[in-house]
Amino acid sequence: MLLSIVTAVFQILQVNAGNGKHVMFVSFPVGVEDILRNLFWSIIFYNASLMFTKVSILLQYGRIFTLREMRIPLHIITGICVAWGISSIFVSIFMCVPVRAYWKILEQATARCSDNKTLWYTCASINIMTDLMVAILPVRVIWSLQIAIRPKIALLCILTIGWFVCVLSILRLHALVVLVHHPEDTTWYSAPTAYWSAIEMNLAIVCASLPALKPLMAKIAPGFLSHHSRGSSGRGRTALSDKIKNITIGSKKTYNEVDDDLESGNKSYSSKGNRSTSEEEDVYLKNIYVSRSFEQNSIKKDGHLSDSDSQKDLVEALPQTHTRL
């Protein structure tokens, strides 16, 4: 994000120097040199921002997917992105030798400068390729998960939202093609390449951040994110409650009191009907008690969840549970 902000600063300085105007309205050589100087620095920070954003997404994949078959492709693609990012930065710096000849246009006749057309097309094409590699990487792993189709598609949409960045990279490449075909008015036709670069760079940061924003949204608007899960768990609880309501309690307790007794470990209930019905209802009671033990043991004193502690406590509680039941 810091690299993106620095890029934006240099792009604004380009505009102040006359970029976006027809070349006839830009002072020569001062105005043109100011535009090229700020363009030189904006390209460097643009490439650095894209590299760190892609690495950030790949590191996030590494934390989410722990499968061994995912590790090798992940390391390979990370290496490619880092190698290309560093290469693009160095190429951007040394487009001209000496470096200042990039913006000192009167010195370009005696300097060694790379062909802008070749360099722009190469950089844009490889950026698109790396974008596609990052977007495609988690598809196979997610699709092989043993979950329902709708959450699977939702997970794919969240983790492969980088496809939007690929589309923007293609639009930026098209703007570069238009710029190359109009060398007589580069200050006018370079404006689309600048704003498509800014959009691509910042949307990539947004895409990298989306999967990690759920905890923040849960804190700001907990009701919004928990509505679906609360509804689904409520339906399951209702079905289970209907089973428990068929139990006749010797002390004529209400269902809420049964709920409290289950939580405290009191199981002194009798059941109507034959033995098979009693055994079936006893299974439901056991399931409720074990699930409640898990919920209680999943919360520490400070109110935060701890999976390892809750599982340990639950395992220790299971023998006592079966003894009382």
What pLDDT, in 10s, does the model give residues 50-94?
999 999 999 988 888 777 778 889 999 999 999 999 999 999 999
pLDDT at 245 over 60: no
Choose the weakest-confidence range: 29-38, 140-149, 161-170, 249-258: 249-258
Closest among 125, 107, 111, 134 to 52, alpha carbons compared: 134
The reply to whether 302 and 208 lie within a common domain is: no
Residue 231 covered by a domain:
no
For residues 48 and 247, the model is more confident at: 48
Residue 110 covered by a domain:
yes
The reply to whether 144 and 266 lie within a common domain is: no
The reply to whether 293 and 197 lie within a common domain is: no
The reply to whether 14 and 119 lie within a common domain is: yes
Residue 146 covered by a domain:
yes
Number of domains making up the chain:
2
Q: Tell me what the mean pLDDT of segment 3-32 comes to.
A: 93
Res 62: pLDDT: 87
pLDDT at 144 over 90: no
Q: Tell me what the mean pLDDT of segment 175-192 comes to.
A: 91
Residue 199 covered by a domain:
yes
Res 266: pLDDT: 54
- CA-to-CA distance for 262 and 291, rounded, in angstroms? 11
The reply to whether 128 and 270 lie within a common domain is: no
Q: By three-state DSSP, how is residue 111 classified?
A: coil
Q: Which domain holds residue 279?
A: 246-324
pLDDT at 131 over 80: yes
The reply to whether 43 and 179 lie within a common domain is: yes
Could you give phi then psi for residue 250, rounded to 5 degrees? -55, -35
Cβ-proximal residues to 30 (8 Å cutoff; 6+ apart), any chain: none
The reply to whether 179 and 59 lie within a common domain is: yes
The reply to whether 169 and 279 lie within a common domain is: no
Residue 220 covered by a domain:
no
- 8 A C-beta contact, residue 314 and residue 293: yes
The reply to whether 46 and 166 lie within a common domain is: yes
The 8-class DSSP code of residue 266 comes to -
Here the tokens at position 105 are 């246009």
Confidence of residue 226 (pLDDT cuts 50, 70, 90): very low
Mean pLDDT, the chain, rounded, equals: 75
Confidence of residue 257 (pLDDT cuts 50, 70, 90): low
Half-sphere exposure of 81 (CA within 13 A, CB side): 25
- CA-to-CA distance for 195 and 201, rounded, in angstroms? 10
The reply to whether 167 and 304 lie within a common domain is: no
Residue with tokens 């160095």: 90
Res 120: pLDDT: 87
The reply to whether 56 and 174 lie within a common domain is: yes
Residue 232 covered by a domain:
no
Residue with tokens 């650095």: 48
Res 130: pLDDT: 92
Residue 62 covered by a domain:
yes
Q: Tell me what the mean pLDDT of segment 252-268 comes to.
A: 50
Of 186, 212, 238, which residue is a domain's last?
212
Is the preceding omega at residue 29 within 30 degrees of 0, hence cis? yes
Q: Tell me what the mean pLDDT of segment 161-179 comes to.
A: 87
- CA-to-CA distance for 139 and 137, rounded, in angstroms? 6
pLDDT at 317 over 50: no
Res 228: pLDDT: 42
- 8 A C-beta contact, residue 58 and residue 81: yes
Residue 223 covered by a domain:
no
Choose the weakest-confidence range: 52-66, 170-184, 188-202, 241-255: 241-255
For residues 59 and 214, the model is more confident at: 59
The reply to whether 205 and 254 lie within a common domain is: no
Buried b (16+ CB within 10 A) or exposed e, 270-290: ebeeeeeeeeebeeebbebbb
